[in-house]
Amino acid sequence: MSTSTAILIFTQEASKEAARKMLTPSKNQGVNRLVFDKLNHFVERTATAAASKGYNLHIFHSKQLIKPNNNSFGKQLSTAIQVVFERGFEKVICIGNDCPALDESQILLAAEKLQTVDTVIGPDNRGGVYLLGISSKDFKSEVFENLAWQSEKMLESFMEQYTNKAVFLLETLSDIHNFQELQTYTASRYFITFLIRIIEQIITAVQSFYCFFVEIRSIRSLSLRAPPVV
């Protein structure tokens, strides 16, 4: 297998993702950011596991390649991919943090297929993708950045622009956009079960503290009242 394949972990700031997606049953942004931090660590471990299988895959993080900015998702991703290609790699496998079902087997299969096809796509159940592998010779930044990213038309728009390319489709997996979808993974994936347990524990702790705070205020209020007039 070629040694010129890179894995690009593309994630945005946890605070930015937490503002766009609510993965907790409450609207607590602090807890929501913690969830995204955990998901970021999870996808990094998945990429590291794939890279350790002896295929000499190199891992890059988007935050190491591009500075935070207000550009569109497509523009930021396109820029990050271009930087990897400029560093001499011929193929890039892009993954994010919103598909907990992704494991090293899909990444390794994508790396293998990219040796014989132009593009590898891991479609999600919404019309988007959880993995995208592309070669430098087929990458056009101006086309790539204007695809229908973060929408149910993303995969469709990609196929329209790359109609003459050989594309290999991985299995379709489910991504997550809310807490209810996160819960669907509890039966099959230990990590997500663990993650949901953390969320529940934090929410319970916050609720307990609030009840304690209210009770203390009530007690203080009573203790400060003047004695009844006889």
Return the pLDDT at 6: 96
The region of weakest confidence among 59-63, 107-111, 180-184, 203-207 is 203-207
Rounded to the nearest integer, the mean pLDDT of the chain is 81
Q: Tell me how many degrees the CA angle 32-37-95 measures, rounded to the nearest 5.
A: 115
Beta strands in 5-77 (DSSP E): 5-9, 58-61
d(CA 85, CA 31): 36
CATH superfamily of 5-223: Spore Coat Polysaccharide Biosynthesis Protein SpsA; Chain A (3.90.550.10)
Domain ranges for the chain, please list them.
5-223
pTM of the full structure: 0.79
**For range 86-99, the mean pLDDT:** 94
Asked whether the predicted pLDDT for residue 42 surpasses 90, the reply is no
Asked whether the predicted pLDDT for residue 64 surpasses 80, the reply is yes
pLDDT in tens, 126-140: 999 999 999 999 899
Inter-residue long-range contacts of 151-154, CB under 8 Å, 24+ positions, other chains counted? 151/127, 152/126, 152/127, 152/128, 153/127, 154/127, 154/128, 154/129
The region of weakest confidence among 22-36, 76-90, 114-128, 179-193 is 179-193
Tracing tokens 């930021």 back to the chain, one arrives at: 76
Which tokens belong to 66?
Answer: 């591009």
Tracing tokens 């943090």 back to the chain, one arrives at: 97
